[in-house]
Amino acid sequence: MIILERVSRIFRSRGEAIRAVDDVSLEIGEGQVMSLVGESGSGKTTTGKMIAGLVTPSSGRVLFEGRDIRTLDGAARARYRRAVQIIHQDPYACLNPVRTVGDTLAAPLQLYGLADGRSRNAGIGELLERVELTPASAFVDKYPHQLSGGQRQRVAVARALSVQPKFLVADEAVSMIDVSLRISLLNLLLKLRQETGVAFLFITHDLALARHFGWDGRIAVMYLGRVVDVGPTRTVIEDPHHPYTRALLAAVPEADPHITRTKPRLRLRSQDPPSLLHLPSGCAFHPRCPWAESGLCDVIRPELTHVRAQEVACHVAVREGALPDLAATT
């Protein structure tokens, strides 16, 4: 349904060019889940916004049902706009502070002619019940500042659902709220997935969340704007091929019930990612990578290459078919 074809996005700020997303190709079919994981600044939000049409690619194409979204007009554009909805990282920033919950939900219903008059109130009530803000009457007249972070995020979810979308971009939808409420919001999203069959781009920096939400889907791991590891969720987590994915897994707390750690923790050579303004030569991960080989990884940029069920951009993993044990390489 959604295809990214070699999409890049360059931002220019203070005379410098930042390649926030670099040559990313992804495909998400109807009802499927793709989790997009990576550290802060790896280009996840920019990728999600390009899918939702909020950021224009500098090169490459975003296809919706086979058509370049830039070429859509009239009814086709309206259909795409309605079909693809985004739930933003910060619900406070994206809800209008002077609009009640009821008004926020009425607007899209009205825009798309989905309900009017009495049926609109019923529609709003039903939406609030679907996101478990009950009784609905206790929420319709509230303003965003009268709600908790978790409740605000549920309103944002209800607004996205109001137009019966086919595709949701959930950008760190559960990350900004209290840990104790995170799982219940995540389970709500899972329930909505089952009920509606909506497809997801599930953006998170937390592999454990990606596993819980998208266990039956795929994971793409981004590093400094590029996808470096992609494949079925289960295999990416149980048998990560890219050293960076191994490092992300190592960062999941030991007690996390969703991740069984089969490999020892990975110690990176440097904790901080390099700046997008001064990208390392060759493989951008090589200065942090314990497997890096000089003359290879610092010179040639690896392309995504099939290794069993995954695609991985790592010279060593591709050559060896798996990352060798570190003890054997040092």
Ligand X SMILES: Nc1ncnc2c1ncn2[C@@H]1O[C@H](COP(=O)(O)OP(=O)(O)OP(=O)(O)O)[C@@H](O)[C@H]1O
Given the structure tokens 């693809």, which residue do they identify?
A: 84
Instruction: Using alpha carbons, select from 82, 93, 91, 24 the residue that is nearest to residue 53.
Output: 82
* Binding mask of the shown chain, residues 37 to 56, with x at each position contacting ligand X by CB under 6 A: -x-xxxxxxx----------
Q: Which does 274 bind (CB under 5 to 8 A by kind): Mg ion, ligand X, none?
A: none
Amino acid code (one letter) for 13: S
- Alpha-carbon span 324 to 329, nearest angstrom: 7
CA atoms within 13 A on the CB side of 41: 9
Q: Which does 13 bind (CB under 5 to 8 A by kind): Mg ion, ligand X, none?
A: ligand X
Residue 40 vs 330, nearer CB to Mg ion: 40
Given the structure tokens 């295809």, which residue do they identify?
A: 3
Helix axes 149-161, 118-130, angle to 10 degrees: 120
Q: Which does 271 bind (CB under 5 to 8 A by kind): ligand X, Mg ion, none?
A: none
* Binding mask of the shown chain, residues 188 to 227, with x at each position contacting ligand X by CB under 6 A: -----------------x----------------------
Q: By rule CB under 5 A, what count of residues binds Mg ion? A: 1
* Binding mask of the shown chain, residues 5 to 24, with x at each position contacting ligand X by CB under 6 A: ------x-x----x-x----
Q: Which does 20 bind (CB under 5 to 8 A by kind): Mg ion, ligand X, none?
A: ligand X
Could you say whether residue 45 binds Mg ion (CB under 5 A)?
yes
* Binding mask of the shown chain, residues 132 to 161, with x at each position contacting Mg ion by CB under 5 A: ------------------------------
Amino acid code (one letter) for 250: A
Give the nearest distance from C-beta 208 to ligand X in angstroms: 16
List the interface residues with ligand X, window 271-330 (CB under 6 A): 276
State how far the alpha carbon of 233 is from the alpha carbons of 128, 145, 159, 238, 289, in Å.
31, 37, 28, 8, 23
Element (H, E) at 9: strand 2-13
Whether the Cβ atoms of residue 151 and residue 158 lie closer than 8 Å to each other: no
Give the nearest distance from C-beta 291 to ligand X in angstroms: 24
CA–centroid distance for 22 within its chain? 16
Write down how long the chain is.
330
Residues that bind Mg ion (CB under 5 A): 45
Residues that bind ligand X (CB under 6 A): 11, 13, 18, 20, 38, 40-46, 205, 276
